[in-house]
Structure 1
């Protein structure tokens, strides 16, 4: 009995909380008022029909009680119509028809709709809102707070999960928060400009706060977070370069102009001189670089013939072929489109540069399609390096902003062959596609590749899911806004320099699985089993770059590998005892 009473008490308390929350909402009062007005109209209508019933019955010489009149009105309006009380005159039957039709409209259509719209649906919504978490558990720390759930933070959350760092998303709308929570996203509902929200998510104890909204909202978020903590790192995205200084002044630790950096990264994949090394990242003393084979003695020769590792110490860990990083095979000759990815120290790269000297600068024309923020950033970066840049933009207003950025600006549709020819497609050595429409980028990549099969084609995408499509369209190098954003933020959170290999290929730091301890690198056969390429081994504070196959894997070693998320997952599935690092 006591247990039943306690359970009943909990149920009543739960219902009381829900009812109180429901009635506290300002919209609830308006809804109840509207529902009450409709019920009042129905009540008046029933009363009028009851009075008219008595009047018409007296005209026919019939007498009934007032309750009988109410009974007849309700049974007729609800279409039950038992038939025990009827009119004999045409006027009475006409009145019965009016009552019947009125009942259909008010009781069978309007009243159910109003009940659902003004009472039942808001009640369900209030229940959903009540389910949304308002705070993190006490003691939560070391997490990352996201201010929006977009393509960048979705990708970043997966990378944080790989290294065991939790996250939480602040969602202003409780209903949306519940929906995200049902999808497995960790959320807390609260206003983004309220100090109490960041106290609820323990921002002071967080690893970082990511402000990934618009520039004005990010400034507001930054100032609000600084009310809670003066120390927590704040990573703020920047839409306009003019806002970068404002965000830093507001208290942001890092102001990240992702679109400008995306344009610069796309431009950096264009080689203006043969034999020019392009460093794509550093991990302490280990450097990674790309060396386009075009115009160098590498073309037509195999890696075994070149013997770069024996002569310079540099290791070729992969080769970009039409946007795909393929394993370095010693017996396959390099083509003019090949871009080897190299790992080594600064001294080793200097030795390589002596073997493959940088050619003299030559006039190079680069065609950029799209004059938005990304396109203009790419144009500025190329002009600084000495390239001649032509730009195509279909909107006159956007084209006017490109004046002075590129050497020539052509207004028109890039899908028009004559526009591309006027912009210099025929003489261009490279084309960069920078529109923010993935479907258009795929279309233009196919078109450009058909018109110029030999040109180097670099493209931007917005969504990672379109990566394979644009590679099939003919792009030589692809990079998405989401990939750049997540890699930039992850490198800051990890306290290392940005390493950006390309779309779908990441640098991972993985502890050695227990099953492989004591084995040599060759015996572990990690590359053959998973496709991952081991570029270095971290032992405490020391880094051993390009480890030899006979290197023994010891406890505490961390493997620095490059590969896709699928390849990393393959390692996790094969060695489930391995913990994230």
Structure 2
């Protein structure tokens, strides 16, 4: 035996004793054991309070990021062992198991879980729900439904909450549209607090600073954010309101009604008779159309699939990338266009094209993956709503025992007990807005909610903060103030 072989043999007990023997018979058990530890089939006894995700689709990926931010335990079921190892290497806890096998849920301590999440096809979600209910009757289960007919079936199977994300997405996109009466778009509620968006165009607010508007003093509403070309800006007293801005307002329902009574009359859209364009006649597009009918907003749906065309007077058959189709849909007069296809590349392509044709038109687009939101903004979209983050936010709100808040993309409303580092400080001295970009829109003390609280009042030990800001601002708050 050569000297180097002797050295290697003495160095590692895993190597063969004779040259020529296959090393895989010695390494394989060790590699297999190491792999099993990275993708186990069972959680340790005593595991509790965790979230069980039954897949790793776009919604689940966005939800995982939210769970990480709030330090909530979770595990993702993966049926393929190699895929589980790949996902584990990206930094997430994975477990190998079949989602249609009750033993999988027993091994993952479902009876101690805080939530089971099923975001797959309706039929698969029904099967998952039934399997979980055979193991435990009480654990909360939240499921998504693509078809409205599945809502009842999933509830009968044992789902605690059924979400139709396509419906929520369509209504959210419709709410952002500047057309018809242009009333305030309510995007969130928390007890008596209302968060709403309102276009500044056409109102006496244009050209004034936040301080000069005196909205807080006269109306009881606070401007907590301003949308500028799809980007959320946290205003300061000297921020000037421009014609293209959309204001994010916080206040009580009564204060919001007072605001709308005054500014609604300034804001009847001049293009009230011109139809809004809806690109795509699928589930999201049809939901938007139903919402427009309720608001009496004229619209036209551009759809290239003749089987999807329903009411002839509301449809333009053709490709939205064809200028002749767009001319039939009155592209030169449309106040807004909503791009709703399920393919992000198509949405980016059409957004860029429509923006080149109409630099002044409001363009709102759907995104299916979070990573494409910024690209859609660069292509010219004023607003983008991500299907995945919308679903993740709705699920997380259910986990936190809150009603699903309708949050705009990149905007979050969150609440938590006052951190020790803030107790005794006033809102002014806390520098929350300066440090994180988040605004305290309300305080709750002993069950009493104070909306738009006095910034000079000290934060008490038992106070609960209700804050609004960007998703990055929320993460920064959790990090800066040691939550």
What's the TM-score, normalizing by structure 2? 0.88
Alignment partner, residue 470 of structure 2: 564
Alignment of 1:87-486 (within 5 A): 130-131=36-37, 132-274=39-181, 276-358=183-265, 362-394=272-304, 396=305, 399-404=306-311, 407-486=313-392
Tell me the SS of whatever aligns to 1:515.
Answer: coil
More displaced stretch, 478-487 vs 491-500 = 491-500
Asked whether the equivalents of residues 275 and 356 of structure 1 are also in contact (C-alpha less than 8 Å), the reply is no
Alignment partner, residue 4 of structure 2: none
Aligned length: 461
Asked whether the equivalents of residues 133 and 158 of structure 2 are also in contact (C-alpha less than 8 Å), the reply is yes
Asked whether the equivalents of residues 208 and 235 of structure 1 are also in contact (C-alpha less than 8 Å), the reply is yes
For residues 216 and 168 of structure 1, what CA distance do their matches in structure 2 show? 22
For residues 360 and 373 of structure 2, what CA distance do their matches in structure 1 show? 21
Tell me the SS of whatever aligns to 1:154.
Answer: helix
Please say if 1:491 is aligned against 2:401: no
Asked whether the equivalents of residues 388 and 407 of structure 1 are also in contact (C-alpha less than 8 Å), the reply is no
For residues 453 and 379 of structure 1, what CA distance do their matches in structure 2 show? 24
Please say if 1:506 is aligned against 2:380: no
More displaced stretch, 355-364 vs 233-242 = 355-364
For residues 114 and 476 of structure 2, what CA distance do their matches in structure 1 show? 29
* Cα 1:514–1:360 shift into 2, 3 Å: closer
Query: In the alignment, which of 438, 452, 457 is matched to residue 551 of structure 1?
Result: 457
Deviations along 1:207-238, one digit per CA (max 9) or x if unpaired, are 11111111111111111111111222211111
Alignment partner, residue 19 of structure 2: none
For residues 111 and 135 of structure 2, what CA distance do their matches in structure 1 show? 6
Bigger Rg, structure 1 or 2: 1
Tell me the SS of whatever aligns to 1:550.
Answer: coil
Deviation at 1:360, TM superposition (A): 5.9
Tell me the SS of whatever aligns to 2:264.
Answer: coil
For residues 194 and 366 of structure 1, what CA distance do their matches in structure 2 show? 48
* Cα 1:540–1:163 shift into 2, 3 Å: farther
Deviations along 1:467-506, one digit per CA (max 9) or x if unpaired, are 2221122211110001110111111111222333322221
The gaps in structure 2 that reach 5 residues or longer are 1-12, 15-21
Alignment partner, residue 66 of structure 1: none
Asked whether the equivalents of residues 294 and 336 of structure 1 are also in contact (C-alpha less than 8 Å), the reply is yes
Bigger fraction of residues in helix: 1
Deviation at 1:527, TM superposition (A): 0.9
* Cα 1:274–1:303 shift into 2, 3 Å: farther
* Cα 1:316–1:369 shift into 2, 3 Å: same
For residues 431 and 180 of structure 2, what CA distance do their matches in structure 1 show? 38
Alignment partner, residue 8 of structure 2: none
For residues 417 and 356 of structure 1, what CA distance do their matches in structure 2 show? 37
Tell me the SS of whatever aligns to 2:289.
Answer: helix
Asked whether the equivalents of residues 178 and 335 of structure 2 are also in contact (C-alpha less than 8 Å), the reply is no
Deviation at 1:420, TM superposition (A): 1.2
* Cα 1:368–1:573 shift into 2, 3 Å: same
Asked whether the equivalents of residues 223 and 251 of structure 1 are also in contact (C-alpha less than 8 Å), the reply is yes
For residues 257 and 290 of structure 2, what CA distance do their matches in structure 1 show? 28
For residues 430 and 238 of structure 2, what CA distance do their matches in structure 1 show? 23
For residues 137 and 145 of structure 2, what CA distance do their matches in structure 1 show? 21
CA RMSD of aligned residues (A): 2.7
For residues 186 and 174 of structure 1, what CA distance do their matches in structure 2 show? 13
Deviations along 1:269-297, one digit per CA (max 9) or x if unpaired, are 11434461221111111111111123333
What's the TM-score, normalizing by structure 1? 0.74
The gaps in structure 1 that reach 5 residues or longer are 1-11, 15-111
For residues 440 and 62 of structure 2, what CA distance do their matches in structure 1 show? 23
Deviation at 1:121, TM superposition (A): 11
Alignment partner, residue 6 of structure 2: none
